[in-house]
């Protein structure tokens, strides 16, 4: 069997995406509670997200959504990492802006700071894996916003970020 570079690189990106998802899963979590969800997008699903980003760019007059959509079209895969906002029940916290977790739950609009911090740690763990394997990447709000609007993430995921992955002679994220 002979496997040429483009097929090798596509397979490598998918494998690195899987390893990044594993790193996000095993990253440290506040109170040991895991609210992290990962999704790897390729092909038509990835392009559907890029198309939604273009629509947002035009409808909302946000040029960087179009620039980022162009990047999404160029890459073979995008890892999405998201979290819910389930309060952790940490006594004497109030970081969410409410007196306690019960107040956060009753209001329904609170954002548990532990979930958000855990998301940041998961993102850092994931991009460290990409960097270790020399895969170009960029953390994007815009792509994940489109993913959330399209309902790709499971119900309950309230915040997410995207990490497009590229193996090419020059990073598509360099001259933006």
- Given a cut of 90, is residue 6 above it in pLDDT? no
What pLDDT band is residue 148 in, cutting at 50, 70 and 90? very high
Instruction: Write down the domain spans for the chain.
Output: 5-166
The encoded tokens of residue 99 equal 């007196």
- What is the average pLDDT across 135-147? 98
pLDDT given for residue 103 in this prediction: 87
Beta-strand pair 77-83/36-42 = antiparallel
For the stretch 40-96, pLDDT in tens is 999 999 999 999 999 999 999 999 999 999 999 999 999 999 999 888 888 889 998
Element (H, E) at 165: strand 159-166
Tokens of 19: 């390893």
pTM of the model: 0.94
pLDDT tens column, 99-120: 888 888 887 778 899 999 999 9
Give residue-wise pLDDT tens across range 26-54.
999 988 889 999 999 999 999 999 999 99
CATH number of 5-166: 3.40.109.10
Looking at the DSSP bridge assignments, the partners of residue 41 are 78
Question: Residue 154 gets which letter from DSSP?
Answer: P
Question: Model confidence at 166, in pLDDT bands (50, 70, 90)?
Answer: very high
């Amino acid at each position: 069997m002979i496997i040429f570079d483009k097929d090798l690189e596509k397979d490598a990106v998918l494998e690195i995406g899987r390893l990044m998802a594993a790193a996000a899963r095993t990253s440290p979590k506040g109170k040991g509670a895991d609210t992290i969800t990962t999704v790897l997008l390729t092909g038509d699903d990835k392009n559907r997200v890029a198309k939604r980003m273009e629509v947002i760019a035009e409808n909302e007059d946000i040029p960087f959504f179009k620039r980022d959509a162009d990047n999404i079209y160029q890459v073979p895969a995008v890892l999405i990492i998201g979290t819910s906002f389930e309060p952790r029940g940490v006594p004497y916290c109030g970081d969410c802006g409410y007196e306690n977790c019960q107040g956060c739950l009753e209001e329904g609009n609170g954002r548990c700071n532990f979930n958000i911090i855990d998301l940041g740690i998961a993102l850092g763990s994931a991009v460290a894996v990409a960097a270790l394997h020399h895969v170009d990447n960029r953390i994007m709000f815009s792509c994940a916003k489109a993913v959330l609007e399209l309902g790709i993430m499971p119900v309950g995921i309230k915040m997410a970020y995207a990490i497009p992955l590229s193996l090419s002679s020059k990073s598509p994220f360099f001259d933006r």
